[in-house]
Amino acid sequence: MGLITAEKYKESLADGRVIYYKGEKVENVATHPDLSVCVDVMALDYQMAEAPETRDLAVAKDPETGDEMSRYYYKPQNAEDLLKAYELIVKATELGDGIIPLAKDIGADALNAINITANIMGNKDFVERINNYRKFLQEKDLATCAAVTCVKGDRVLRPSDPRQANPDFYVRVVDRNKEGIIVRGAKIHITGAAYANEMFVIPCRAMSEADKDYAVSFAIPINTKGVTQVCRPFQSQYSSLEFPVDRPVRTHTDSFVIFDDVFVPWERVFLCGEWNHAATMVYNFAVMHRRTGCAYRIPLTEQIVGAAVAIAEYNGVAGVSHVKDKLTNIIIYLETLKSLAKTACYDFVIRGDIAVPDPIATNMAKYHFAHKYHDVIRDLQDIAGGLLVTAPTYKDYQIPKIHDAMDKYLVGKKGISAENRLRILDFIRRLAKTERETIVLHGEGSPMAERMTILMEAQPVLKNCQKLVEKLAGIER
């Protein structure tokens, strides 16, 4: 009862789920050569609850019963709860060498968003169902994911618009009966779905009345009949061209999830036709999920900082003015992110009885990270120099004659070996992948989504400022 081990989590994955990867059906994600890499990452969350040095951070207690539970599934009430969760995500990501384990983060964001929506609606059924489901997750300690983004078709058109090429671009209810509902559609970009236990589904946009069949939210086990996933491929091993490193590869993968007339029992349905509440749900999910994003990106950004400092030293240019300028840019980037992420916790708001990080600060943190990321990568590549893409490889280094020439000629600053310089360049190449650029932009919502939210949330500030200025300008309205 309560917390489970990493081992038990891994065992739970052999449940008949339907997963495709590189054109083949996967027998068991936990033993698959590539996907097991992701499973190991997710397992870190379970290990944190076991390890004495991280247990305090990872585990919360029910204030009434004293029962232990994963902190992710604890309902946040105040700034302290939010700061704890923030620290937990940061620490977990550090343990993941820059990759957030994600066993419960996004799931918790969806759980809270659903809970807030039910509370705001004041719908007793929904409130009871989501509370029961929260208790279920607390007790079973399951790994969860959240399927949010529908495939959308033509984005300018509403889900129900007859001009859409088909009516299934957004997940929708196609039938309903006493036991539950039948849903159809497809979701995209669903991180961790292939190796979680349960999947939340929530709408990905505001809905109009005509879209009411699309205003649907629920939770189902990953192995539910009719659910098929296709995972995005990735490299699960360091290249043999790189200097060998004694660290596991850390990564996640995203799924394209197809819902082929999937049955969901009523006790797992959290929205079904209440079209005017779809926006509340996705909106609050977005805020909390962006908070998650900002937290996990801090350790990743620290890697960028460290890589820039190291290669500047190794290249012998740490004292050059334009290099110091670029290092200053990078540190400003990191510290702005940290400041906004913490401000979001301090300035929390209460929504539907749950503490939510300040939406303006949260969206600004995510926007900052995304919008300025390419500048930081440019500065890193600038400091690293052309050797980043022209250096001989570890394969060449194994040829004695070439080995000697590399040792002699590829030294930068005296006292730092050529090997170490090449190692840091290997690291930077892994760090500054183009895939990351796109994830940074679009993960947790695109830059434009954050800008729109900032402007919307700032309306009271704008109005107050306008009134102030009108007073100062002698304007009466």
Distance CA 399, CA 377 (A): 33
DSSP 22-73: TTEE-S-TTTSTTHHHHHHHHHHHHHHHHSHHHHHHHEEE-TTT--EEEGGG
Q: Which of 122, 156, 177, 460 binds a copy of itself (CB under 8 A)?
A: 156
Q: How far apart are CA 237 and CA 248, in angstroms?
A: 8
Of the candidate residues 23, 66, 122, 162, the single one contacting a copy of itself (CB under 8 A): 23
SS3 of residue 185 by DSSP: strand
Residue from 93, 309, 356, 369 that binds a copy of itself (CB under 8 A)? Answer: 309
Which of positions 395-434 make contact with a copy of itself (CB under 8 A)? 395-396, 398-399, 401-402, 405-406, 408-415, 420, 423-424, 426-427, 429, 432-434
Q: How far is the CB of 31 from a copy of itself (least distance, A)?
A: 20
- Name the nearest CA neighbour of 185 among 232, 226, 231, 145: 226
Q: Kindly state the smallest distance separating residue 83's Cβ from a copy of itself, in Å.
A: 10
Closest CA to 83 of 342, 447, 437, 401: 342
Reduced to 3 states, what is the DSSP secondary structure of residue 111?
Answer: helix
Return d(Cα 93, Cα 444) in angstroms, integer. Answer: 16
Structure letter (DSSP) for residue 368? H
How do 227-231 and 18-21 pair as beta strands?
parallel
Q: Which is nearer to a copy of itself, 59 or 307 (CB)?
A: 307
| Binders in 346-375 for a copy of itself, by CB under 8 A | 346, 360-361, 364, 367-368, 373-375
235 binds a copy of itself (CB under 8 A): no
Minimum distance of a copy of itself from residue 151's CB (angstroms): 5
Nearer to a copy of itself, 137 or 360 (CB): 360
- CB of 376 vs a copy of itself, minimal distance in Å: 9
124 versus 401: smaller Cβ distance to a copy of itself: 401
Instruction: Give the separation between CA 288 and CA 355, rounded to whole angstroms.
Output: 10
Q: Are 104 and 289 in contact (CB under 8 A)?
A: no
Cβ proximity to a copy of itself, 69 vs 92, nearer residue: 92
Residue 461 binds to a copy of itself (criterion: CB under 8 A): yes
DSSP string, 200-228: EE--SS---GGGGGG-EEEEEETT-TTEE
In the complex, the smallest distance separating the C-beta of residue 362 from a copy of itself, rounded to whole angstroms, is: 11
Q: Is 248 in the site for a copy of itself (CB under 8 A)?
A: no
226 binds a copy of itself (CB under 8 A): no
- The residue among 180, 248, 253, 246 whose CA lies nearest residue 219 is 180
Report the residue count for the chain: 477
**Which span sits near a copy of itself by CB under 8 A: 36-44, 263-271, 283-291, 454-462?**
454-462
CB of 137 to a copy of itself, least distance (A): 26
From candidates 16, 33, 66, 474, binder to a copy of itself by CB under 8 A: 474
Token pair of 471, please? 């007073």
- State which of positions 316-335 bind a copy of itself (CB under 8 A): 316-317, 319-322, 324-325, 327-328, 331-332, 334-335
Give the pair of three-digit tokens for residue 96.
């993941």
- Separation CA 150–CA 211 (nearest Å): 14
- Binder to a copy of itself among 8, 78, 175, 233 (CB under 8 A)? 233
Report in angstroms how near the CB of residue 26 gets to a copy of itself at its nearest. 12
Query: Candidates 22-30, 62-70, 214-222, 289-297 — which segment interacts with a copy of itself by CB under 8 A?
Result: 22-30
Nearest-angstrom CA–CA distance, 361 and 437 = 22
> Mask 115-154, x = binds a copy of itself (CB under 8 A)?
----------------------------------x-xxxx
Q: How far is CA 402 from the centre of its chain?
A: 43
Q: Which of residues 168-207 bind a copy of itself (CB under 8 A)?
A: 168-169, 185-186, 188-189
